[in-house]
Amino acid sequence: MNKAFYLILLIGLASCGRERPPVTPGDVSIASVVQSNYKNDYTHEVSVQVNGDNLTINSTGLPDHKTPYWGKGHEMYEEFPGRNHANMNTSMISFNYSMTIPILPNESSFKEETELGPVGMALNGVPIYNDYEGGGLLQENAWGTFDASGGHPGPREDYHYHSEGAYLTVDDANLIGFLRDGFPVYGRKDMDDSYPADLDENGGHTGVTSDFAEGIYHYHVSNEVYSTSGLYVIKSGAYHGTKGTFTQ
């Protein structure tokens, strides 16, 4: 009787295990690069904590640079670029963001699509979004409200980046942040000043970067102009690895 019970329990556990295979850690640690690159010397705090096999990055989500969204009169106010203009949300508010990512990120056999909302965090603590806005793919009504850094606040006054821009990356090989699967994101170029030619459908490839001499999978800002925006979107498509959490 007892044996039968435990057998059923074991079978049950085994089948649960098959639905969600354990994540096998990769072999390149991102810990020191994350700890040394996430900014912590601004008026808004960005901090990094080690929690077992994960890193948790906390931020307010407010940018450390000029943007019209600070509002006229603010010391970091600047005009919109070109013909851009404010959206309904002309201000930004502060959040208690926490992004938890694996110290040893690894490829996932299931490539989960990125979603609306934060898909990663820039080194200054600002969330990175993909090429979607509420309602679907980015349209002119959205990119027409971007500041010079490819950012704007959403309906919740939550400032975030969608595209390449001043203060972040412009046609270079800068490290700009990490996505929720723990893999880093760089500008359009590799460290040898060339544009990568072997990116996979998720905008990444494995190779050496200025931060990872032994090589690591990393994403690049798209080198194709997005629609008629004249902008280069940071991320589209799926995650390469297993997505961690991003709470607010």
Applying CB under 5 A, which residues contact Zn ion? 133, 190, 196, 207
Closest distance to Zn ion from the beta carbon of 189 (Å):
8
User: CB count, 10 Å around CB of 4?
Assistant: 8
Shortest distance in whole angstroms from residue 196 CB to Zn ion: 5
Listed residue (187, 221, 222, 190) closest to 206, CA to CA = 190
CA separation for the pair 154, 50 (Å, rounded): 30
- What's the rounded Cα separation, in Å, for the pair 161 and 152? 7
Smaller CB separation from Zn ion, 56 or 211 = 211
What string of DSSP letters covers 184-223? EEE-SS-TTSPPPS---TTSEEEE--SS-TT-EEEEE--S
Looking at residue 124, its amino acid is N
CB of 106 to Zn ion, least distance (A): 18
Q: Closest approach of Cβ 113 to Zn ion, in Å?
A: 17
Closer to Zn ion by Cβ: residue 48 or 199:
199
Residue 23 or 86 with smaller CB distance to Zn ion:
86
d(CA 21, CA 195): 35
Q: Smallest gap, in angstroms, from Cβ of residue 44 to Zn ion? A: 19
Residue with tokens 């969204």: 69
Output 66 or 189, the one with its CB closest to Zn ion.
Answer: 189
Class of residue 184 by CB neighbours under 10 A (exposed 0-12, middle 13-18, buried 19+): buried
CB of 159 to Zn ion, least distance (A): 9
Measured CA to CA, the distance from residue 159 to residue 60 in angstroms comes to 10
Nearer to Zn ion, 32 or 210 (CB): 210
Q: Given the complex with Zn ion, which of 81 and 207 has the nearer CB atom? A: 207
